[in-house]
């Protein structure tokens, strides 16, 4: 019987490409695929020495580094469960995740060692070790002294490989249990769909505490034996300088707007690039158009979420339509129950096992016929192309009418002077909710009353924003998504007399 452990698949690739460069860093140092295998083995032996066994959770809150990648591989290799945490989480937030996951081991930044040790003592956690942004720390020191041989632990395809917590914009954050097969099936599908090969060189500037940078970027690169050009964080000038030796970039919309702000970002600069992929937040049609005009490349936008990995993708060949997220991936089914637009359901090998220790919430988020309810609202055209309208929780019900924010945002974003917009519903004494728009300005914004007057020709009266507020920038999370919950909190008293 073959080993269902995702690392067993990586291992075969690593062995077959032992001497080829797997990761090259900004300082020109590099690791071969053989180095990855040997490093993962050392870290795996260190984890075993620290008492980590199959099924144990390993909580990781560290800066992005190559050592962090080796740790991720090692956790898979020993059959444990990788639980990455955003480095921006506070001690209070981390305490919730740790108390809920009950890990055997916590890996943190050295600056947090003392507070993590206190938390670990309270929660009965066996060990706390550390890694810094350079990949230096007590865990790295321990791993350096370990044997570079380690037998990969056998796991079934349905065993948990990752425990990733949702953002928790409403209620408690939930731990999504991601299996080895969820990750393997999704990554293999993307490798095929995006035509990734050993000849590719992927610019990696995403964080690796999140599905995009961790499971999409790393897993597809490893399974295709593509090389990674490594950046600790996104820097437009550095990315631009590296493009002549790269073929592929996976990014969030902010990456592309910042690249467009660089005068040197031209067709000549991207001559070796074959694919630009965007996700994690909606890509403005304006950005898509400007990017295409500047470079000759159409950005490939895709759609996914923590619980499912990637669900849809615009095609490699064929039209990449601005504002849409393409078609369901092969082997994955997408539907909308009832009238369009409506809530999107998904079914396939990519769909997670359920929420950690929340059986009732798991049952609540699946239909009786076994489809996962994404909570995203969208449409599917006759060809099967999916467009996301917004989140169900972002739906505004004003005076009994349903209003989908994206429709208003698209009209606002097309107006001269408006940079970007976010539309929310806030309490209103007469209508239940009142529509409010929060916008950034490209230069000088026209008066609020003039914007509202201009909108009247494009929107039904009940959809019209009752107030428009200008801000320097919209609040975003680490992956670039606008935090509408924060905006609703900020403008909650707009209509209170």
Give the burial class of 151: count Cβ atoms within 10 A of its Cβ; 0-12 exposed, 13-18 middle, 19 or more buried.
exposed
**Residue at 145 is within a domain:** yes
Kindly state whether residue 323 falls inside one of the protein's structural domains.
no
Instruction: Give every residue of the chain whose pLDDT is below 50, as ranges.
Output: 168-170
Distance between CA 70 and CA 61 in Å, rounded?
Answer: 14
Whether residue 123 lies inside any domain: the answer is yes
Residue 354: predicted pLDDT = 98
The candidate with the shortest Cα–Cα distance to 285, out of 255, 321, 314, 317, is 321
Note whether residue 229 is domain-resident: no
Which of 246, 234, 238, 253 has the alpha carbon at shortest distance from 203?
246
Rounded to whole angstroms, how far apart are CA atoms 174 and 265? 40
Tell me the pairing of strands 386-391 and 248-251: unpaired
* Domain span including residue 119: 6-155
Q: Residue 136 maps to which CATH number?
A: 3.40.50.12780
At 497 the pLDDT is 62
Q: How far is CA 190 from CA 197, 356, 385, in A?
A: 11, 26, 17
Encoded tokens for 52: 């980590």
User: What pTM does this model have?
Assistant: 0.88
Does residue 338 form part of some domain? no
pLDDT at position 167: 62
| Cα distance between residue 312 and residue 329, in whole Å | 5
Residue 22 domain-assigned? yes
328 forms beta bridges with 312
Q: Are 112 and 90 in contact (CB under 8 A)?
A: no
The CATH number for 417's domain is: 3.30.300.30
The domain tally of the chain equals 2
Q: How far is CA 459 from CA 259, 411, 417, 463, 483, in A?
A: 33, 8, 19, 6, 24
Asked if residue 92 belongs to a domain, the reply is yes
Query: Which of 136, 155, 174 marks a domain boundary?
Result: 155
Specify the pLDDT at position 170: 45
Which of 155, 187, 214 is a domain's end point?
Answer: 155
Termini Cα distance of the chain: 69
Question: Cβ(155)–Cβ(3) under 8 Å?
Answer: yes
Query: Does 308 reside within a domain?
Result: no
Q: Last residue of some domain: 155, 176, 207? A: 155
Closest to 47 measured CA to CA, from 27, 18, 76: 76
Q: How many CB atoms lie within 10 A of CB 204?
A: 24
- What DSSP letter does each residue of 355-385 carry, written as one string? ETT-HHHHHHTB-TTS-EEEEEEEEE-TT--
Enter the DSSP assignment of 15: H
């Amino acid at each position: 019987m073959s080993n269902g452990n995702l690392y067993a698949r990586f291992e075969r690739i690593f062995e077959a490409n032992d001497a080829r460069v797997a990761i090259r860093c900004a300082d020109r140092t590099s690791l071969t695929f053989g180095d990855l295998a040997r490093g993962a083995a050392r870290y795996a032996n260190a984890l075993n020495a620290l008492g980590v066994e199959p099924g144990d959770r390993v909580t990781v809150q560290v800066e992005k580094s190559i050592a962090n990648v080796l740790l991720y591989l090692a956790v898979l290799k020993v059959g444990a469960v990788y639980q990455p945490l955003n480095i921006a989480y506070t001690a209070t937030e981390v305490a919730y995740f740790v108390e809920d996951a009950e890990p055997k081991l916590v890996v943190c930044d050295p600056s947090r060692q003392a507070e993590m040790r206190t938390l670990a003592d309270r929660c009965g956690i066996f060990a706390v070790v550390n890694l810094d942004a350079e990949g230096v720390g007590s865990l790295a020191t321990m791993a350096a002294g370990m044997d570079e041989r380690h037998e990969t632990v056998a796991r079934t395809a349905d065993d948990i490989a990752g425990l990733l917590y949702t953002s928790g914009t409403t209620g408690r954050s939930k731990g999504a249990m991601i299996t080895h097969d969820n990750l393997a099936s999704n990554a293999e599908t993307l490798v095929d769909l995006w035509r990734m090969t050993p000849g590719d060189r992927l610019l990696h500037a995403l964080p690796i505490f999140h599905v995009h940078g961790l499971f999409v970027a790393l897993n597809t690169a490893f399974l295709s034996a593509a090389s990674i050009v490594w950046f600790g964080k996104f820097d437009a000038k550095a990315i631009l300088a590296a493009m002549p030796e790269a073929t592929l970039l996976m990014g969030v919309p902010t990456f592309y707007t910042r690249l467009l702000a660089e005068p040197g970002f031209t067709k000549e600069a991207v001559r070796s690039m074959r694919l630009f992929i965007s996700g994690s937040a909606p890509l403005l049609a304006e950005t898509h158009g400007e990017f295409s005009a500047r470079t000759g490349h159409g950005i490939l936008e895709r759609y996914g979420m923590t619980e499912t990995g990637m669900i849809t993708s615009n095609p490699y060949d064929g039209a990449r339509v601005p504002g849409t997220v393409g078609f369901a991936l092969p082997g994955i089914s997408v539907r909308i129950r009832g009238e369009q637009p409506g809530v999107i359901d998904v079914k396939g090998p990519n769909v997670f096992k359920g929420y950690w220790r929340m059986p009732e919430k798991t049952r609540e988020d699946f239909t009786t016929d076994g489809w996962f309810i994404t909570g995203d609202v969208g449409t599917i055209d006759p060809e099967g192309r999916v467009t996301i309208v917004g989140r169900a929780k972002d739906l505004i019900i004003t005076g009994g009418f349903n209003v989908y924010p994206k429709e208003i945002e698209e009209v606002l974003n097309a107006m001269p002077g408006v940079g970007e917009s976010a539309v929310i519903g806030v309490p209103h004494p007469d209508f239940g909710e009142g529509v409010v728009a929060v916008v950034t300005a490209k230069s000088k914004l026209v008066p609020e009353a003039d914007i509202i007057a201009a909108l009247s020709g494009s929107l039904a009266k009940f959809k019209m924003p009752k107030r428009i507020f200008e801000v320097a920038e919209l609040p975003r999370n680490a992956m670039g998504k606008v935090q509408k919950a924060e905006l609703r909190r900020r403008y909650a008293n707009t209509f209170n007399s």
